[in-house]
Structure 1
Amino acid sequence: MNADNYQVIESVVLNLSLVLLFVLLGLAIHDVLKKNDVPLVGKVVAYGVLGLGAAGFVAKGIIQLFYSASGVS
């Protein structure tokens, strides 16, 4: 395999592991919030922070796609 194949495999595995990480974080946050009887405002803040973090990674991926399509390294 050449270097391009390794880069593609690396990026796919990285993206899948980040998705898995955010799913596990969401499940852990849900469990802690459920066991401690947190009010609705606290749940919204906790899930909002997790969602904004995930949105940041999605935005990073989209920006990388546009840069690579335009030839910027």
Structure 2
Amino acid sequence: MQSDFPEPFAQQYQKHLKHLRLQGLQPKTIDAYARAIRCLGAHFSFRIDDLSEAQLLDYFSVRLTSHSWSAVKLDLYG
């Protein structure tokens, strides 16, 4: 796992991981959800605070062309 994220993203990412752990999710589920956030962050240069609905719609639509629906669904709802 990459640990040299830009600071605002790194803080949000760690907070997200804490929430997932507190929900009692299994480690593999946490890894999958965390990977989805890292991919989303990388796509948007780790600036995810102010993403619009249109940006997210475009991101997941493009992702659907290269990944299965089950993989995209995991990213979308995780």
Structure 1 and Structure 2 fold alike (TM over 0.5): no
Structure-1-length-normalised TM-score: 0.44
Q: Which has the higher contact order (CA 8 A, sep 6+)?
A: 2
> Between Structure 1 and Structure 2, which shows a larger proportion of helix residues?
1
Structure-2-length-normalised TM-score: 0.42
